[in-house]
Structure 1
């Protein structure tokens, strides 16, 4: 009985190893379902329910498409989307190119706007716009009170 291994054994094992690694790569790369929308919505609610000026940032492990509305948000990755509703709203979705973006980022509202009335008009315009849609890895929420304006701003 021969004890030598067949000459084609090494190429067969090498081929099986390569095929297994390729299959593993495909499985790891498959989408894992809809991203979590409740965590960012809960963070926005914590800020919005505050009786004083407050802010918070939610960081996502992967970039997501986020659609912000006054009463909720959608978070999507690829074709998978999740929706969450704000308990404390309405909030003000802030586009990255608006004057409110600096306030969401932490700048004092009186440094950006001339008066609380000017801030109120900017808030009203932002609420009347279409939802804010952006691709981001962070979401910022900030509750501010200035004069008679008491509002929660949400943006990237």
Structure 2
């Protein structure tokens, strides 16, 4: 694990935190208000659990960097690889996660649709970013 790996992991962690806030703290904030105190924790209560959110973002940032670097194809363009990787991550994480939540929790369908769309787009943007941060082949 070289210097680029660590830089990419940190940048990806920060990016996923920021994009997560845009999606869930801004775009979907109004959707979560009716669920606060029932399915969702109150802001006061959730504050004491924020270190788990930070840990999750660190896992996303470094895991995306690590997995992406395992499959870089030096013959392919950065944008295409990033888009492909982001879609794969969304299919592996976001889509199953929110479909499972919808199955076991009483979430409004409109909220789940927005979560699926916005968080999938978030993963695609992160896929492009990780490709940009790691442009070289894995052998060089």
TM-score by shorter chain over 0.5 = no
Q: Which has the higher strand share?
A: 1
TM-score category (smaller protein): under 0.3
After TM superposition, the score normalised by the length of structure 1 is 0.23
Q: Which has the higher helix share?
A: 2
After TM superposition, the score normalised by the length of structure 2 is 0.25
In our comparison, the structure showing a higher alpha carbon Rg is 1
